[in-house]
Amino acid sequence: MNATSASGTRHRIQKGRRAVPGSDPRIDTLLNMLMALTSEVAILRERLDAHERLAALRQFTGPDAVDAYQPDEEAQETRARLRERLIAKVCRPLVADGVVDQ
């Protein structure tokens, strides 16, 4: 299941590392782990949303039905808001400490 914003653009996960002079490699590893887990949580939330919406329609909610589910515009906007809120919440301490830029 791919993440798509309300505007229809696809979000891509950057692969590989960018060198940051003077940064501790352990911190870099932890940040990569944190972002990977955040990505998985976002995917799980979208799959749960698909299950809930299919259940409300009283449709079978097996893995194939969830994979085939196409959210309407309202659902896409809701998902985009939740995804942005999740990222902001996870990254808030990093932004506050100056570890990452907004």
The pLDDT of residue 62 is 82
Q: Are 10 and 58 in contact (CB under 8 A)?
A: no
The pLDDT of residue 86 is 95
Residue 70 CA to residue 25 CA, distance in Å, equals: 40
| Mean of per-residue pLDDT scores for the chain | 83
- Mean pLDDT value across residues 35-39: 95
Chain segment 46-82, per-residue pLDDT in tens:
999 999 999 999 887 788 999 999 999 999 999 999 9
Q: How many C-beta atoms surround the C-beta of residue 23 within 10 A?
A: 12
The pLDDT of residue 75 is 95
Phi then psi for residue 20, to 5 deg, are -120, 115
Chain segment 1-11, per-residue pLDDT in tens:
455 555 666 76
- Cα–chain center distance at 17: 19
